């Protein structure tokens, strides 16, 4: 996802980090749309929850995009590197201390009436932060949204993943509009990347099925860790 693509465009292809983030964010809209259509067809998306959280999440993405545009590229690199390091550590910790998570039943249920107002307000606030990180750094925000939907709002895991994927596309679209208006998105690059991402996603899904979840998490965390160090090293030179 964006946590890999944005550093890749900057470190390997030499694009400015702001252009990399903006372009990656728009690509997220394309990839999320294809995944969301499948989830919607299967009835896995909890629309009531998405409608509750997405307005503030989109606002967060717009805010994050404006922050990235306003601050120097060097600062953006540092923030991106710190977030990547955090994601790498979290994934590595979960891989080492892996435990099964129940998928739950009743993923078609609406937001449970037993969820307190306090929890709903907390979910809205956390969603704003997830959206801001998405808009700032071009990452999907699923790493925040899925645990939020499961732990705070009580959604089953399948529904949480589907709802998060649906929201990610809308959030990315909101942030992308800001970058598009500022001329930071490379249309030709979006076309090339999107055409490669789609078959890559299919290949990745097939490969992932053959790998143990723990091994997959360790592999991804290693890539994120390396990308973060490369970003920091590029600033030191």
Residue 223 burial (CB < 10 Å; 0-12/13-18/19+)?
Answer: middle
- Rounded Cα–Cα distance for residues 136 and 64 (Å): 4
- Rounded Cα–Cα distance for residues 151 and 170 (Å): 22
pLDDT, tens digit, for every residue of 20-60? Answer: 999 999 988 887 887 788 888 888 899 999 999 999 999 99
Domain that includes residue 183, residue range: 2-236
List Cα–Cα distances, 121 to 64, 117, 132, in angstroms: 20, 6, 17
Could you please report the per-residue DSSP string of 53-113? HHHHHHHHHHHHHHHHHHS-HHHHHHHHHHHHHHHHHHHHHHHHT-------S-TT--S-T
Question: Of the spans 14-23, 27-36, 186-195, 220-229, which averages the highest pLDDT?
Answer: 14-23
pLDDT, tens digit, for every residue of 127-140? Answer: 999 899 999 998 87
pLDDT over 50 (residue 212): yes
What average pLDDT does this structure show over 14-22? 93
pLDDT at 159: 86
Q: What is the pLDDT of the chain when averaged over all its residues?
A: 82
pLDDT over 90 (residue 193): no
What average pLDDT does this structure show over 176-198? 87
Q: Residues of the chain with pLDDT > 70: what percent?
A: 84
The number of folded domains in the chain is: 1
- Rounded Cα–Cα distance for residues 153 and 167 (Å): 15
- Rounded Cα–Cα distance for residues 120 and 36 (Å): 24
Q: Could you tell me the pLDDT band of residue 209, with boundaries at 50, 70 and 90?
A: low
pLDDT, tens digit, for every residue of 142-159? Answer: 777 888 888 888 888 788
Q: Which residue has the higher pLDDT, 224 or 237?
A: 224
What average pLDDT does this structure show over 196-204? 66
For residues 19 and 185, the answer to whether their CB atoms sit within 8 Å is yes
List Cα–Cα distances, 211 to 2, 109, 201, 208, 217, in angstroms: 22, 32, 15, 5, 10
Q: Could you tell me the pLDDT band of residue 201, with boundaries at 50, 70 and 90?
A: low
What average pLDDT does this structure show over 162-168? 90
- Rounded Cα–Cα distance for residues 27 and 173 (Å): 9
Cα Rg of the chain, angstroms: 17
pLDDT, tens digit, for every residue of 58-117? Answer: 999 999 999 999 999 999 999 999 988 988 887 787 777 765 444 444 344 445 455 678
């Amino acid at each position: 996802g964006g946590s890999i693509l944005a550093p890749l465009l900057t470190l390997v292809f030499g694009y400015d980090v702001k252009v990399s983030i903006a372009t990656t964010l728009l690509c997220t809209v394309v990839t999320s749309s294809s995944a969301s259509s499948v989830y919607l067809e299967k009835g896995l998306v909890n629309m009531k929850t998405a409608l509750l959280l997405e307005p503030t999440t989109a606002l967060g993405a717009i805010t994050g995009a404006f922050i990235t545009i306003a601050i120097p590229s060097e600062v953006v690199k540092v923030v991106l590197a710190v977030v990547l390091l955090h994601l790498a550590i979290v994934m590595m910790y979960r891989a080492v201390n892996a435990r099964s998570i129940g998928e739950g039943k009743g993923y078609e249920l609406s937001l449970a009436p037993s969820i307190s107002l306090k929890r709903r307000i907390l979910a809205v606030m956390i969603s704003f932060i997830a959206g801001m990180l998405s808009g700032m750094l071009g990452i999907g925000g699923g790493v925040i949204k899925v645990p939020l939907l499961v732990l705070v709002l009580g959604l089953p895991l399948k529904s949480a993943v589907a709802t998060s994927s649906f929201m990610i596309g809308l959030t990315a679209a909101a942030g992308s509009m800001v970058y598009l208006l500022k001329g930071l998105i490379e249309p030709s690059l979006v076309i090339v990347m999107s055409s490669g991402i789609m078959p890559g996603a299919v290949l990745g899904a097939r490969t992932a099925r053959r790998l143990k979840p723990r091994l997959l998490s360790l592999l991804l965390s290693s890539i994120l860790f390396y990308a973060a160090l490369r970003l920091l090293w590029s600033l030191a030179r």
